[in-house]
Amino acid sequence: MSDIKLSPFKFEQFSVIESSIKRVKGLNNDLNLKYQILPSGIINEDAKTFELQLEVKVKDDNGQFESKVVIVGLFEFKEVTKVENLNNYFYVNAPAIIFPYVRSYIAALTSLSGFETINLPPINIGLLKDELKRNIKIINSN
């Protein structure tokens, strides 16, 4: 039996901090949906936490459907001495962990709206890496 090495990066919780939906009565099933994901985050080196925010907008070209969800995920990295060693966790893993919650939330929100369910497709969340890097704030007391 081999020893399992635990990740130094731990997912703590997520919260939906903003949510809206706008639908047109008589909505057809031929929606041409466009997606926009705006990532940002705060690395707190003193508290050893990472707060990831994903703002997800879904819109139909014809104005029949529009939704916005802002979700925040909280992560800890208590056992890490060098934050630079966690770049992949911050910029790739954290968004990949949080995005399925956004997908589920939008599916539940739309299914409970009285119309058909909107299911976001799986996406390569790693494509957000560079944008997330530009939108990171680092907090430390040094």
Partnered with residue 34 across adjacent β-strands are 59
CATH number of 10-135: 3.10.420.10
Q: Is the pLDDT of residue 79 over 90?
A: no
Six token digits for residue 141: 């007391």
Quick check: 4 and 99 in contact, CB under 8 A?
no
Per-residue confidence (pLDDT) for residue 2, from 0 to 100: 62
How does pLDDT run across 51-64, given as a tens digit for each residue? 999 999 999 888 88
Per-residue confidence (pLDDT) for residue 29, from 0 to 100: 62
What percentage of the chain carries pLDDT values higher than 90? 54
How does pLDDT run across 11-51, given as a tens digit for each residue? 999 999 999 999 877 656 667 889 999 999 999 988 999 99
Per-residue confidence (pLDDT) for residue 9, from 0 to 100: 86
Domain extents for the chain? 10-135
**Edge-to-edge strands of the sheet including 33-44?**
10-23, 65-76, 49-60, 33-44, 136-139
